[in-house]
Every structure is written in structure tokens, then in C-alpha cells.
Amino acid sequence: MEFMEECFRWYGPDDPVPLAHIRQAGATGIVSALHRIYDGSAWPEAAIADHKAGIEAAGLSWSVVESIPVHASIKIGTPLRDRYIGWYKDTLRALARQGIATICYNFMPVVDWTRTELKHPMPNGALALRFDAVDFAAYDLCVLRRPGAEANYTPDRLAEAEARFASLTPEAMERIERNLIAGLPATEVRYDRAGFQRALSEYDGISADDLHENLAYFLRQIVPVADELGLRLCIHPDDPAFSLFGLPRIVSTAADVRRILAAQDVQANGLTFCTGSYGTRADNDLVAMIHEFGPRIHFAHLRNVTREPDGSFHEADHLGGSSDMPAVILALLAEQARRRDAGRADWRIPLRPDHGHLLADDIGKDRVNPGYSLIGRLRGLAELRGVMHGIAVAQAAG
């Protein structure tokens, strides 16, 4: 049995985790982007080549681009979008010339991945990322005072949010605000409150169907280019996989995925299968999704969440939480085997341990990218690798 490709995300030369340590964690592939050029303009080929050379000098290879950012004009559908789509194509061509073929992106309006809490204590002393649904509502309703926000919550939640707001210190609320709008790693834009309100208002009147149409427009332009260049585009799901701040989100469910894959029905239009994001919804059956969408899964983010009864969730151990991670890995390995048998050259699926707890010596370091500390991800990768080995032994034994 062949294993999946073990990758680690690296934010570039500014990442506090150096490539040498990633290599010690046992990864062979790097997932990275030119984070210094994150405004939607084209990535110069020389800069791509430089980034790649740095990765290769450390004995690793640049396996996946995560992400090429999709400019807001494309999501909103303004006339400016054609210019940004043109630059997107230029970046795709430059990456293809450099031999980098797997390209992750997302289509989340305004906010990328979203958490309210970055250091949630676990019983064993580890610190986890968490999304508290009541803190979130308290911020949206009582601090941001988003017009019309009341309509997005149940009467019970409105009451809980008010009570929560009354009980939180101003410092605690400031921390929540910073986590929500001032940017987790890889976020394209960091906002202050006024800027955030402006960014939200740009989506006034844009429904989920409109957003889907704007994605379809984007795909009509870029998928044929990717296809011709032999690239694999893979859209990342919404994290979490439900609407926030009244914004439409269109990559949250199996029905969403069906619609996106059908919009351009070719291999180049594929998925990043993020178990942590899809796993925030109990109605997403991860293994069934792998069975249904397997041939179009070009990249896997493996991470587990524990869903809490009130709609909150926290990031669990990679093998803990609400999703059955070994079953997910078994399904992905079966998909790889199926592709190999079918003679597909791109049969191997790159994975990365997505996020990790803050553990041991990483606790207390001044500079840690939330979710992207070394030791937590090293533990995650080791556990995922262990599952693959266990499956191999079990299969060999019949």
C-alpha cells in the first residue's frame, strides 16, 4: 500500500517554524504561498522560483500552493474582476512553468477561517483553537452592532448573547474582536472595526446564489487555463461550514460541492478535503463525501473538531473529536489505490496535519502562528502517519 504524501504548511521566511524543523517532523512536502503578495496581483515567476529554491535547499519540495487569494471583486462580481482574474491566470501560468501543480484557494467572503479563542485549555494542559458561538453572537450583536444581525439568531441565542456580553470584561471582548477581524494566519486582509463594517457592507444584497454565480464565472475563466496547464485547482471549504455575519457561504455541504464540481465538470476543478471544516457540521458525512467526490479530491487537510451542543466547537486531537479520522484515512487510501489502478499519474494525495494544539515548549513562545506551532502539528502528523502504517499492516495481513 502506498501512503499519502506527508506535507506541512510553511508561511515562508517569516514563519517562526523553520524548514529544517519541518523536515525533522518527517514531512517531505511543503504547502506554501507567496504571502508577501497577497493582494490579488500576479506572482512574478522569479519570486516563485526563489521560494521554491529555498524549500528545495532544505531537502523538501513545494507540493501545494495554499492559497492564491481570490480578490473581493471576484467574489462580489464587480467590473474590476476581469483584471484580477487575468492576474490569477498569470500566476497559474508562472506556477505551471515552475512545476507546481496543486493549487488551493477559497471563496469565503470577508473572513477566512474564524475562531473566537486561540488558547482554550484542554484537560491535559494543551491549548486549542475554539469557536464559541455565543461569544461570536455577542460580538456581532453588541459590539459590531451589524444592521439586521438580529434576524440571523434565534430568540434564545439573542438572550444568551446579551447575557454573555454583560459578563465579559472589555479586555476579553477586545481579544475576541482581534481574533475575529484582525486576522489569523493566512488571512488576506486585517481590519479595524470600521474597515470590517465597510467590507461587510460590500456584500449587501449578495445572496448565496449570487455568490455561487460569481464563483461559476471565475471557474469558467480559470478552469480551462488550469486544465490546459495540467494544474489541479482545489477549493477549500468554508471554515466553519456555516454562515457568519450574515454573509453567504457556498462551500459548506455535499450539495454545495456537487454544484461546484458540476459548474466545470473536469478533473482540474477539484477539492481540498478539509475534515476540520466540513466536520463542523454533523450533517456532513465525511466518509460518504470521500466516496462521492474522491476522484476530484486533490489535497487533504486532516484535523478533528469536537462539536459542542450549542453550535460551538473546538479543535480536538487529530484522532479525537467528532469525526472518525482512521475511517477518513482508510477512505482516502482506498481512493488513492483506485486512482493508481486506473493509471492516473496524480494518484497520490498530499495531506497536511491541519493545525495542532499548543504543546510543551511551544507554550509561552513569543512568536507562534495560531494553529501552526511546530510540536502540535508534529504530533498530529505522527499520529496520522501511524494510522496509515496500521492500515497497511492490517491490509497486508488480509
Q: Catalytic positions, please?
A: 236, 274, 301, 354-355, 372
- Within residues 216-245, the interface with ligand DNO by CB under 6 A covers 236
What are the CA-CA distances from residue 278 to residues 3, 237, 238, 253, 343 (Å)?
A: 23, 7, 8, 7, 29
Tell me which H or E stretch contains 8.
strand 5-9
Task: Output the CA torsion sign for 174, 176, 179, 180.
Answer: negative
What minimum distance in Å lies between the beta carbon of 236 and ligand DNO?
Answer: 4
Q: Which is nearer to ligand DNO, 81 or 115 (CB)?
A: 115
Which of 236, 387, 398 lies closest to 320 in space, CA to CA?
A: 387
Asked if residue 105 binds ligand DNO (CB under 6 A), the reply is: yes
What minimum distance in Å lies between the beta carbon of 279 and ligand DNO?
Answer: 13
Q: Which is nearer to ligand DNO, 22 or 104 (CB)?
A: 104
Single residue of 6, 15, 66, 140 touching ligand DNO by CB under 6 A: 66
Single residue of 144, 186, 250, 316 touching ligand DNO by CB under 6 A: 186
Q: Which is nearer to ligand DNO, 42 or 186 (CB)?
A: 186
Q: DSSP letters along 88-114, please?
A: HHHHHHHHHHTT--EEEEE--SS-SS-
Helices 193-201 and 170-181: angle between axes, nearest 10 degrees: 50
Asked if residue 67 binds ligand DNO (CB under 6 A), the reply is: yes
Residue listed under C-alpha cell 502506498 = 2
Backbone angles phi, psi at 9, to 5 degrees: -80, 140
- Within residues 253-282, the interface with ligand DNO by CB under 6 A covers none
- Within residues 285-324, the interface with ligand DNO by CB under 6 A covers 301
Asked if residue 140 binds ligand DNO (CB under 6 A), the reply is: no
Rounded Cα–Cα distance for residues 77 and 248 (Å) = 14
- Within residues 108-127, the interface with ligand DNO by CB under 6 A covers 112-113
What minimum distance in Å lies between the beta carbon of 272 and ligand DNO?
Answer: 7
Rounded Cα–Cα distance for residues 288 and 33 (Å) = 31
Q: In 3-state terms, what secondary structure has residue 164? A: helix
Single residue of 17, 60, 94, 104 touching ligand DNO by CB under 6 A: 104
Applying CB under 6 A, the residues found at the interface with ligand DNO are 66-67, 104-106, 112-113, 186, 236, 301, 354, 371
